[in-house]
Homo-oligomer: A and B are copies of this chain.
Amino acid sequence: MATQAGAVAQPRVPLSRTRVLGAAVALADEGGVDALSMRRIAQALGVVPMALYKHVTSKNELLDGMIDVLVGEIDPPAEGTDWKSAIRRRVLSARRMLLRHPWAPEVIEARMKARATPTPALLEYLDSMVGIFRGGGFPIGLVHHALHVMGSRLLGFSQELFEDRPGRAPDTDALPAEEMAARFPHLAELAMAVAHDPESVVGSGCDDQFEFEFALDLTLDGLERLLRNAS
Binding site for B on A (CB under 8 A): 32-33, 57, 61, 64, 102-103, 105-106, 108-110, 112-120, 122-124, 126-128, 130-131, 134, 140-141, 143-145, 147-149, 151-155, 157-163, 165, 168-175, 180, 183-187, 189-190, 193-194, 197, 206, 211-212, 214-215, 218-219, 221-223, 226
- Identify 26 residue pairs between A and B in the complex whose beta-carbon atoms are under 8 Å apart, listed by A's number: A61-B173, A103-B113, A105-B109, A109-B159, A116-B168, A116-B174, A117-B171, A117-B174, A118-B162, A120-B175, A128-B186, A130-B190, A140-B190, A145-B214, A147-B161, A149-B214, A149-B215, A149-B219, A151-B215, A152-B159, A152-B161, A154-B161, A157-B159, A159-B159, A218-B223, A221-B222
B193 touches A127 (CB 8 A): no
In angstroms, Cα B221 to Cα A215, docked, is 13
| Chain B nearest CB, measured from A227 CB (Å) | 12
Q: Which of B108, B123, B152 contacts A158 (CB 8 A)?
A: B152
* Contact between chains at B163 and A112 (CB < 8 Å): yes
